[in-house]
Amino acid sequence: MNKKILFLIAFLTISFGSFQISSAQSFDFEKLEKIVSEVSVIINMKVEYSFGAHTNEQEERYLGSVVSEDGLVLYNGFTLSGDNPISALTGMNVKTTTSEITVTFLDGTEYPAEFVGVDRFSKIGFIKIKADDHKFKALKFISEKKYKVGDWVALYMLLPEYVQPPLSADVGMISTLIETPEEFPLIVGFNTLQMTSVLFDENLNALGVLGQLSDPSQSNTDQAGMIESFGSFGMPLLGLITENRIAKMIANPPEKGKTDRGWLGITLQALTTEMAEFWNLDITGGIIINDIASNSPAAKAGLDVGDIIFEVNGQTVEVNKEEKVPIFQRKIAEMGPSAAVEFTILKRTDDKVDTTKVLATLEKTPMTATDSPEYENEELEFTVRDLVFSDYLYHNLDAESFAGVVVSELKSGGVAEIEGLRYGDIIQRISDQEVTSVGEVEVVMDELVEQKVAEIIFFVWRNQKTLFVNVKTDF
């Protein structure tokens, strides 16, 4: 390579590095550290991972930020997000639960805490400090700030437990303002280990938290909104989750077992450019309805298979390839249950295309396997959960005529496993008594245990067929 070019590259590199250091030094880190130390906590939680007959418990450690006076704390909740693609794709129930949570302020003050929930899209988690009548100093985020390329931001990250002090500062820079699939100030200089750390500007204002932009082409959300992508192996796009999104979560934190996503109840595909041209449609994109779940908001609103949605609340649906379908799905999900949505649709017939508007009221996304109610029988050492929407989809079952409960856990070497029950079995009857919920299973099992029966016969559905499983007891 030409020596002059090499010199120029070296000069630019050194100059940019000097500019970076100079700009970053405009932060008053001594003052920022004081602000951070007043609202930061170190979270220690014991997390239990359950997969069928296998259970493992490990300790997790996170940096959290107090965001309300009554002790609400946000942190990186990815491991407890509850959206496990294996669960929805295979019918297997992979659970993550907390057994113990403590928070420690940087001055050494310690409190117990309880898990609240995790926002599905941002993976921001929330816990609540258990301290009645105590008011905590809470972090306040600024709103309506205009961002531009070149703005510098700073954060504090949690260091390993054997290191003191526990926090370390870092700086990054807004590199571009992404507009689609969503508005997202992209930031360079940080890594995924710093996710959900609070970002500050040079005036030490809290802007939001570090988050990741999801790639729509790597996401495959089903009609219940329950299946997430396995992720991609490319470079993660990190940036700012702004105050306007965080404020909504703080005001109404996501709760485990509480469905807060909107559901329309359709399977769908993109209206590609080629399809639009073939049908001579004067639109640039849309959603083709392939199927409609019975008794869903779509069915109640009068939507039909074959309808093409090209506007939502007057805004154009710019989906012209399959990779963009999750953008539409996420938009519907984030509207939330009870939202009234106006769809502008095309109805195609053999000789014409009609345009009409349909008003639908979204409902709660069906319960996921992770959040489904459970019952554990200690005598036979097995756990069951209620059937959920994804079970019916995966097994191609009719929700109106098929009922039962799913075996979600079996103790390895336990009575139920040895006698023939299998993980994923759907129990429909126990000793000639039909069971349609975990509550009914509990009642039946309590009676059988009290009677000290020598054998219990389970009628189960397994691998597309039914069979009897005789379990000898030892009450």
Per-residue pLDDT reduced to its tens digit, 398-422 = 888 899 999 998 988 899 999 999 9
The reply to whether 431 and 359 lie within a common domain is: no
Task: Specify burial of residue 14 (Cβ count, 10 A radius: 0-12, 13-18, 19+).
Answer: exposed
Lookup: tokens for 422: 């299998």
In a domain, 206, yes or no: yes
* CB 328, CB 319: distance < 8 Å: yes
Total structural domains in the chain?
Answer: 3
Q: Distance (Å, rounded) from C-alpha 139 to C-alpha 246?
A: 12
Residue 15 lies in a domain: no
Note whether 45 and 118 are same-domain residues.
yes
Q: What is the CATH number of the domain that holds 253?
A: 2.40.10.120
Written as six digits, the tokens of 475 are 């009450």
User: Are 450 and 355 found together in one domain?
Assistant: no
- In a domain? residue 426: yes
On whether both 95 and 221 belong to a single domain, the answer is yes
User: What pLDDT is recorded for position 120?
Assistant: 77
Q: Which residues, including other chains, have CB under 8 Å from residue 417's CB and lie 6 or more apart? A: 53, 381, 382, 410, 411
91 within some domain: yes
Same domain for 81 and 130, yes or no, is yes
Mind listing the pLDDT tens digit for each residue in 84-115?
Answer: 444 444 445 556 778 899 999 999 999 999 99
- CA distances to 42, 209, 224, 407 from 94, rounded to whole Å, are 27, 28, 18, 12
352 and 421 in a single domain? The answer is no
Helix (H, G, I), strand (E, B) or coil at 383: strand
Same domain, 238 and 311: no
Q: Is residue 455 part of a domain?
A: yes
Query: Where a domain ends, among 315, 333, 364?
Result: 364
The alpha carbons of the chain give a radius of gyration, in whole angstroms, of 26
- Report which residue type is found at 340: A
The predicted pLDDT at position 327 comes to 83
395: left (phi over 0), alpha (psi -120 to 50) or beta: alpha
Indicate whether 205 and 277 sit together in one domain. Answer: no
Domain assignment present for residue 21? The answer is no
Domain identity same for 213 and 68: yes
Q: Which residues of the chain have a pLDDT value below 70?
A: 1-25, 51-54, 82-95, 215-235, 257
Q: Do the domain assignments include residue 199? A: yes
In-domain check, residue 20 = no
Strand partners, 471: 456
Domain of residue 467, CATH code: 2.30.42.10
Q: What is the pLDDT of residue 330?
A: 81
Q: By C-alpha distance, which of 342, 336, 335, 317 is closest to 327?
A: 317
Tracing tokens 């409190």 back to the chain, one arrives at: 111
* Domain, as residue range, for 384: 374-472
Q: What is the pLDDT of residue 234?
A: 53
Quick one: 334 and 249 in the same domain?
no
CB 206 within 8 A of CB 141: yes
The whole-angstrom separation of Cα 466 and Cα 190 is 54
Q: Are residues 133 and 78 in the same domain?
A: yes
